[in-house]
């Protein structure tokens, strides 16, 4: 934000705020939808364990990718 509106132009600040609000609202809506969708599949403890392991592998893979880049 500081680099985008370094001179303190109020119009730029409000434009950034509007764009940021739309993007954040969309992101939160996607996370909420994904959570409600996954809830029906993650009722079984075995599926939760599998899901957690899959997410751990994806997280480790992305960390390795970032270290190699």
pLDDT tens digit sequence for 7-45 = 777 888 888 889 999 999 999 999 999 999 999 999 999
Specify the pTM: 0.60
Say how far apart CA 46 and CA 62 lie, in whole Å. Answer: 24
Which pLDDT value is given to residue 8? 72
Q: Give the chain's domain count.
A: 1
Task: Say if 2 falls within a structural domain.
Answer: no
- Domain of residue 24 covers 10-68
Task: Say if 64 falls within a structural domain.
Answer: yes
Coil/strand/helix, residue 69: coil
Task: Say if 22 falls within a structural domain.
Answer: yes
- Contact, 4 vs 12, CB < 8 A? yes
Task: Say if 5 falls within a structural domain.
Answer: no
Which pLDDT value is given to residue 16? 85
Query: What is each CA distance from 14 to 1, 8, 22, 26, 61, in whole angstroms?
Result: 11, 11, 12, 18, 38
Q: Which residues contact 12 (CB under 8 A, 6 or more apart)?
A: 4, 5
């Amino acid at each position: 934000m500081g680099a985008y509106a370094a001179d303190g132009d109020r119009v730029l600040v409000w434009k950034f705020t509007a764009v940021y609000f739309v993007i954040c609202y969309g992101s939160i809506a996607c996370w909420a939808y994904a959570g409600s969708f996954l809830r029906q599949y993650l009722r079984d403890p075995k599926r939760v364990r599998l899901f957690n392991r899959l997410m751990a592998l994806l997280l480790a893979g992305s960390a390795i990718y970032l270290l190699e880049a």
